[in-house]
A and B are shown apart, each in its own frame.
Chain A
Amino acid sequence: MSGAVSIARRGAIVLGLPAVLIAAWWIASSGSESFYFPPLATILQTFVSLWLSPQAIPNVLPSLSRFAVGYFAAAALGIAIGIPVGSSRNLRATVEPVLEFLRAIPPPVLIPVLILFAGIGDEMKILVIVFGCVWPVLLNTVAGVRALDEVLEDVVRCYRIGPWARLWHFVLPGASPQIFTGLRQSLSLGVILMVVSEMFAASNGIGFALVQYQRTFAIPEMWSGIILLGLIGIALSLIFRAVEAWLLAWYHGLRRTQRAG
């Protein structure tokens, strides 16, 4: 009985304020004559007919697949470069200033640059996402590899564990909490770059559709696109958190016991 009450209470706490805010938006905009701020009901109707129907696929699918390809390529690249850089002090000292400089370039700047090389097709957008997302992963991998447990490192050496087993069972797991910090930073950056690259030059994609609606003053459609991007951002961060909780369960457990003890 008390369990049910506490679940209901928690639900009220979680959903209370969002419900109030949405209701406030709904009521405040219900009779809205303002051109830029249409009633929420209209926006939601547009959302359903625009994005929850098969005609959404030609715009949503290219965006998400470009994002996925670029993001995973950046993750693989960042880890693959980050491990050797993190393991060698001399290599690190040599490349660190260059990496710091490349990381500091705001990634959207690369859109015009990469248009020169790759035109305005899928390759350009994927490359923009890769170039933008790789730095947080790379630098965090470097930091994670540097901070590996020294005692464990000696143990690995004493037992003459081979390079692949060392990588798989020691380096990657040991650095994974840091790597995930980088991956999380890259996630929001990747969404930004996905949208901006499509706004700048594209023939399909959510960002492209959004700009078209804005330029043709299709205001409810534009609002529905904004909501869609928001939902995508939220969904990606929820998925990421679930994957992280699953893969790093051992680490969070370790931290908990350390804190408790």
Chain B
Amino acid sequence: MTADTTPAPAEAGAFNAPSWLRGLGGLIGFALLLEIVPRIGLVSPHYLPPFSEIMAALARELATANFWHAFGDTMRAWALGLVISLAAGTVIGIVIGSSNLLRTLTYSTIEFLRPIPSVALIPLAVLLFGTRLESTLILVVYAAFWQVLIQVLYGVHDVDPVARETARSYGLGTWAQVRYLIWPTMLPYLMTGVRLAAAVALILAITSEIAIDTEGLGREISQTEAGGAVAIMYAYVIVTGIVGVIVNLGARALERQVLFWHPSMRLDVGASR
């Protein structure tokens, strides 16, 4: 936990201490806005119930088993998809990235496959797996895998040529090279990939629940909307937002934790990529 100071950049000096207070004020103001707008009739309360009603609905939902099932399903699909994409992206990335020949040969294919929107696979997933977990996993993995792979490729490419020559002259084996040469160079890039992939995986997990009706928070949202339980729907929307924030913050915290030794973290400048 060395050098793990506040992530605030240099400009936020000591005299600007109450910035978190301002942020809190902003959040409260936003909540008040959501409370007042439907109350004074700017928006029909049928479309947007007052914030207090949404919170009451959320509190009720939190006490139901249904909510925790949906929550668990979403998080399981997210975590499984993320782990699969991380493992596959890292291994394939190291293999391709370590060989100049493989890298040039696969470059165009990767650039072609990457921009294909993963939602294009929805019909195929439905036909093959229906509304089972595998459908969600296909979408999540297809979207998150490229994020990891591209970062790992950048990372492996970034290995210092002198260090590589040195490792070779000292007769380091393949495994030792991966462990002591490629891995440390690649790690910052991989962490960027983890951060991007974690966010994308959550989006696609919820997308699949909305579009394919697999079980999870997304399905609760579309079903409560169809059933007219608007306050509960907003409660679920807020939950997905909170999950998203936690995922983002968690990924950033993990990045700091894993890379505490890295100059970009020690100097507190933030990685340039």
Q: Would you call A13 and B104 a contact (CB within 8 A)? A: yes
For residue A13, which residues in chain B have a CB less than 8 angstroms away from its CB? 104-105, 107-108
Q: Give the residues in chain A near B226, CB-CB below 8 Å.
A: 112
Contacts A21-B109, A117-B47; A97 near B116 (Cβ below 8 A): no
Given A14-B108, A191-B117, A222-B124, are A100 and B248 also a contact pair (CB < 8 Å)? yes
Q: Is A38 close to B, CB under 8 A?
A: no
Question: CB-nearest residue of chain B relative to A18?
Answer: B109
B247 within 8 A of A: yes
Judging by beta carbons under 8 Å apart, are A236 and B245 in contact?
no
How far is the CB of A117 from the nearest CB of chain B, in Å? Answer: 6
Residues of B within 8 A of A199 (CB): 119, 122, 211
CA distance A196 to B120 in the complex (A): 9
B123-A222 in contact (CB<8A): yes
A196 touches B210 (CB 8 A): yes
Q: Contacting A234 at CB < 8 Å: which of B23, B116, B241?
A: B116
Residue B88 at the chain A interface, CB threshold 8 Å: no
**Interface magnitude class on chain A:** 35 or more
Which residues of B are found within 8 Å of A93, using beta-carbon distances?
A: 16, 19-20, 22-23, 26
User: Is B156 close to A, CB under 8 A?
Assistant: no
Q: Which residues of A contact B124 (CB under 8 A)?
A: 36, 222-223, 226
Residues of A within 8 A of B114 (CB): 237
Q: What are the residues of chain A within 8 A of B222 when measuring CB–CB?
A: 111-112, 200
A105–B243 Cα distance when bound, in Å, is 8
Complex Cα gap A231–B174 (Å): 39
At the interface, yes or no: A1 with Cβ under 8 Å from chain B? no
A17 at the interface (CB under 8 A from B): yes
The one of A102, A196, A207 in contact with B241, judged by C-beta atoms closer than 8 angstroms, is A102
A55 contacts the other chain (CB 8 A): no
Q: How far, in whole Å, are A205 and B118 apart by their CA atoms in the complex? A: 17
A211 lies within 8 A of B210 (CB)? no
Find out whether the CB atom of B27 lies under 8 angstroms from the CB atom of A108: no
**Contact between B117 and A96 (Cβ–Cβ < 8 Å)?**
no
- Segment 179-231 of B: residues with Cβ below 8 Å from A: 202-203, 206-207, 210-211, 218, 221-222, 224-226, 230
Q: Are A192 and B27 in contact (CB under 8 A)?
A: no
A230 contacts the other chain (CB 8 A): yes
Does A109 belong to the interface (CB within 8 Å)? yes
Chain A, residue nearest B114 (CB): A237
Within 8 A of B (CB), among A207-254: 207, 210-211, 213-214, 217, 219, 222-223, 225-226, 229-230, 232-234, 236-237
A21–B105 alpha-carbon span in the complex (Å): 12
B210-A109 in contact (CB<8A)? yes
Chain B CB within 8 A of A6 CB: no
Query: How far, in angstroms, from A214 to B123 measured CA to CA in the complex?
Result: 6
Whether A236 lies near B115 (C-beta < 8 A) is: yes
Chain B interface, DSSP helix/strand/loop, else mixed? helix
> Once the chains bind, are B210 and A98 in contact (CB under 8 Å)?
no
| Contact between chains at A97 and B123 (CB < 8 Å) | no
List residues of chain B with CB within 8 A of the CB of A15: 108
Instruction: Known contacts A18-B112, A108-B203; decide if A95 and B16 are in contact (CB<8 Å).
Output: no
Measured between C-beta atoms, what is the minimum distance from A184 to chain B in Å?
Answer: 10
Residues of B within 8 A of A103 (CB): 244
CB distance from A226 to the nearest CB of B (A): 5
- CB <8 Å contact, B237 and A105: yes
Partner of B106, one of A17, A100, A196, A222: A17
Q: Which residue of A lies closest to B119 (CB)?
A: A195
How long is the Cα–Cα vector from A39 to B233 in the complex, in angstroms?
43
Q: Is B207 touching A105 in the complex (CB atoms < 8 A)?
A: no
- Taking a contact as CB atoms closer than 8 A, the residue among A89, A97, A195, A214 that contacts B26 in the complex is A97
The 8 A CB mask of B242-269 against A (1 = contact, 0 = none) is: 1111011000000000000000000000
Tell me if A97 and B27 are in contact (CB < 8 A).
Answer: yes
Is B126 positioned at the interface, with any CB of A under 8 Å from its CB? yes
CA distance A101 to B27 in the complex (A): 9
A53 at the interface (CB under 8 A from B): no
Question: CB-CB < 8 A to B115: which residues of A?
Answer: 188, 230, 233-234, 236-237
- Chain B residue with minimal CB distance to A230? B116
A50 to B123, CA, bound (A): 17
- Chain B residues with CB under 8 A of A191: 117, 119
Tell me which residues across on chain A come within 8 A of B241, comparing CB atoms: 101-102, 104-105
Q: Which 6 pairs from chain A and chain B are nearest by CB?
A: A104-B244, A214-B123, A112-B225, A229-B120, A230-B116, A93-B19
A-B contact pairs, 14 of them (CB 8 A): A14-B107, A93-B23, A94-B29, A101-B27, A111-B210, A112-B210, A112-B222, A116-B46, A191-B117, A192-B118, A192-B119, A196-B119, A217-B127, A226-B123
Q: Which residues from chain A sit less than 8 Å from chain B, CB to CB?
A: 13-18, 21, 36, 89-90, 93-98, 100-113, 115-117, 146, 188-189, 191-192, 195-196, 199-200, 207, 210-211, 213-214, 217, 219, 222-223, 225-226, 229-230, 232-234, 236-237
